[in-house]
Amino acid sequence: MSTSPAAASAQAVAPAKAVALVPAAGLGSRFHDDGPKALVLLAGKPLLLHALERLHASGRVAEAVVAMTPGYESAFRAALARAPLPCRLVPGGVRRRDSVASALDASNVGEETLVLVHDAARPLVDPLEVLAVVDAAAERGAAIAGFAMVNTVKRTKNGKVVETVPRHDLVSVTTPQVFRAGLLRKAYAMSPTADVTDDSELVERAGGTVAVVLTSRWNLKITYPEDLAWAEAFLAGGPPSGAPRTAQAGS
């Protein structure tokens, strides 16, 4: 069966690929007291390596720039020796945003190149969901992963409930978060001192529109010891991944 020129051209277009910016400098004081959290072992491998393997498996990540804990370069290099994609190490900062900025500066990518921010402490990210977020960002310029809130949300003050927050349009945001590099650079430049835990907030402040890809809830951030136990159980049992759905933020 012959293929039309238009179909052949469409098949020849390679999917967009991103450069991953991986903040991995945190010591995780709530979790353990022995070095960087990114190097804690999960099923015999560092959290960082799990995350990199899953990013690579998406087919949408070309390389990674890892912002490491200063003073632990040898340990990070040892962990990255088994990484499935090219990786560079840069010093991380005290704040998460400092680590992302350091990795972004070191990436040296063009303004239109996609950069993918992903926490090293999220080792269970679904490769199919990574793919979906990258593809959404390639189309719209900025996209983040998140899942619909399932619990009732209360605002409190001094130990008392002051408001029940409607949850129908709330999303719990995770990573990856993917942006055109020029947009993320602009966002950081416009808010040079803002102490945020979410890069998309900076993009919003800079006037950018961020798409949301609704994902499963398995993309846990390892924060407490029980999270590691849950992740071990996940890897042993392997719950099925959900099909990601794309929505505009706030829709």
For the chain, which residues make up each domain, given as ranges? 14-248
- More confident position, 19 or 238: 19
Share of the chain above pLDDT 90, in %: 78
Residue 239 pLDDT class (50, 70, 90 cuts): low
Residue 222, pLDDT above cutoff 50: yes
- More confident position, 32 or 107: 107
What is the pLDDT, as a whole number, of residue 243?
44
- More confident position, 237 or 1: 237
Which residue from 203, 207, 212 is spatially nearest to 133, judged by alpha carbons? 212
Could you give the residue ranges of the DSSP H alpha helices within 84-126?
Answer: 96-107
- pLDDT (tens digit per residue) in 17-52: 999 999 999 886 666 667 899 999 999 999 999 999
What is the pLDDT, as a whole number, of residue 30?
62
As a whole number, mean pLDDT of residues 133-162 equals 96
Residue 145, pLDDT above cutoff 90: yes
What fold is seen in the domain 14-248?
Spore Coat Polysaccharide Biosynthesis Protein SpsA; Chain A (3.90.550)
- pLDDT (tens digit per residue) in 191-207: 999 988 899 999 999 99
Residue 79, pLDDT above cutoff 60: yes
- More confident position, 9 or 189: 189
Tokens of 149: 């809130």
Residue 128, pLDDT above cutoff 70: yes
Distance CA 27, CA 39 (A): 10
Q: What are phi and psi of 45, to 5 degrees?
A: -130, 150
Distance CA 176, CA 125 (A): 8
Average pLDDT value over all residues in the chain: 90
What is the pLDDT, as a whole number, of residue 246?
47
Q: Which of 3-12, 82-91, 127-136 has the lowest mean pLDDT?
A: 3-12
What is the pLDDT, as a whole number, of residue 14?
81
Q: Model-level pTM greater than 0.85?
A: yes
- Positive or negative torsion for Cα 10, 11, 13, 14: positive
Question: DSSP string of 37-92?
Answer: GGG-EETTEEHHHHHHHHHHHTT-EEEEEEEEPTT-HHHHHHHHTT-SS-EEEEE-
Share of the chain above pLDDT 70, in %: 87
As a whole number, mean pLDDT of residues 129-152 equals 96
